Amino acid sequence: SQKIEQNSEALNIQEGKTATLTCNYTNYSPAYLQWYRQDPGRGPVFLLLIRENEKEKRKERLKVTFDTTLKQSLFHITASQPADSATYLCALGGKLIFGQGTELSVKP
């Protein structure tokens, strides 16, 4: 069956470091993949969309890679700040199926 997996363990990093989150999928051949940010008590907010022919996409301190051979997307936040602390979700597929999200905590 189709499956999207994100690291369920929270990621704790120090301010200024680069955070790297992983999204793996099986039994999909998505044309594109999306990343969202979710703060407690709020709905997810769209961050980035990457297409299968775009190996990498950047937006300010955010970088997303998409490897269709490995069936994996990596989401990087460089020079991380405490304000980046949130849960990050990847989503793909025709009806936008979501991973369970990875909680990121950036300590000052």
Partner 1 sequence: NAGVTQTPKFQVLKTGQSMTLQCAQDMNHEYMSWYRQDPGMGLRLIHYSVGAGITDQGEVPNGYNVSRSTTEDFPLRLLSAAPSQTSVYFCASSASLVVSSYNSPLHFGNGTRLTVT
The window from 13-21, 30-38, 65-73, 76-84 that contacts partner 1 (CB under 8 A) reads 30-38
46 part of the interface to partner 1, by CB under 8 A: yes
How many residues in the chain?
Answer: 108
What CA–CA distance (Å, rounded) separates 62 from 64?
A: 7
What CA–CA distance (Å, rounded) separates 91 from 34?
A: 5
49 part of the interface to partner 1, by CB under 8 A: yes
Q: How far is the CB of 24 from partner 1 (least distance, A)?
A: 13
Amino acid letter at 70?
L
Q: Single out the residue of 45, 52, 55, 58 in contact with partner 1 (rule: CB under 8 A).
A: 45
